A = this chain, B = another copy of it.
Amino acid sequence: MAELPTFATPATFMGIARTDRAAKFCIAGMPLDLGTTNRAGARSGPPAIRAASRMLVDGQHPRSWVDPAALDIADIGDFSIALGDIEKSLARIEQQAAGLAHLIGLGGEHGITLPLLRALKKRLGAPVGLVQFDSHLDTWEVNFGQQFAHGSVFYHALNEGLVDPHRMIQVGIRSPVHREVWDWTVAQGVTILTGEDVQLLGPIDVAGRIRETLGLGPAYLSFDIDALDPSCAPGTGTPEIGGLLSWQAQAIVRRLNGIEFVGMDVVEVAPAYDVAEITALAAATMVWEYLSLVGDEPMR
């Protein structure tokens, strides 16, 4: 065991020392929150998630026995954004994501997923599969008057052919919703598991449904922290009660082996509403679970 106490961990994700873009796995902050529609502050997510990750530094994952910090991994800092301009920010994020082997994005709002998927499409030349943990569909065509806000991400991702709708599953959905948006989403071929579905099925069956939906081929994991119940993740902008417990999210992700993941993000952590760092810790731990999962898989 290291002698460095956790409270003196350097302020990168898990205290990772490398900062170059050549690592197999790159972690980057994306402090964009211009498109949020209720409580503000996801811009402050990246440093909070990094700080909370100090709890995960010392040791291996007790199931996969992978130590994420020991992988070929770098924390490349925060992406530059265009303050006050959503579309320009999305363009910059896409540009900075280009050329990275396997990127894990720390949001910021859910809007950051769109340029990350655009960059993947350019690199892979084909749509990816997608598992989206979320309490909201995020397939609104217009989001309170905005075109590229956090509630429209997957409308665009589907329309732009970035995601294969038949390999797309949404897990934890439970917000009020317009029926036409729901119907449109289903009509594209997307699978929806509501928050109640997750509870009644249990995590093992949910993981089975995800593996089944994503099947073969490259896939992406987008984790909106509001998929979790507000008791587990109060620090977010658009909370909805009745969500996943953190053990359930962990139990599901741990069982997604065999999927060819090519990227991941965790979004919508708003630290101003957090309590004792529990939301940031949940976000950091989901990244840790993901890295423990993909850490011993062959890279695409």
A residues neighboring B (CB under 8 Å): 1-8, 10-12, 29, 31, 33-35, 37-44, 46-47, 50-51, 54-63, 65, 67, 77-78, 80-86, 140, 142-146, 148-149, 173-179, 181-182, 194-196, 199-200, 229-232, 234-235, 238-243, 245-247, 250-251, 270, 272-278, 281-282, 285, 288
List B contacts of A272 (CB < 8 A): 39-41, 270, 272-273
CA distance A105 to B242 in the complex (A): 22
List B contacts of A84 (CB < 8 A): 34-35, 86, 145-146, 148-149
**Closest approach, in angstroms, between the C-beta of A7 and any C-beta of chain B?**
5
Contact residue among B7, B11, B144 (Cβ-Cβ distance under 8 Å from A38): B7
List B contacts of A56 (CB < 8 A): 176
Contact residue among B41, B81, B242, B247 (Cβ-Cβ distance under 8 Å from A242): B247
In chain B, what residue has the closest Cβ to A145?
A: B3
**Closest approach, in angstroms, between the C-beta of A25 and any C-beta of chain B?**
17
CA distance A85 to B86 in the complex (A): 8
List B contacts of A251 (CB < 8 A): 196, 199-200, 242
In chain B, what residue has the closest Cβ to A233?
A: B231
- Oligomeric state, in number of copies? 6
List B contacts of A59 (CB < 8 A): 175-178, 181
List B contacts of A232 (CB < 8 A): 229-231, 241
The 8 closest A-B pairs by CB, nearest first: A11-B11, A59-B176, A40-B40, A272-B272, A234-B276, A3-B145, A242-B247, A241-B246
CA distance A143 to B58 in the complex (A): 11
**Closest approach, in angstroms, between the C-beta of A48 and any C-beta of chain B?**
10
Contact A67 B176 (CB under 8 A): yes
**Closest approach, in angstroms, between the C-beta of A106 and any C-beta of chain B?**
12
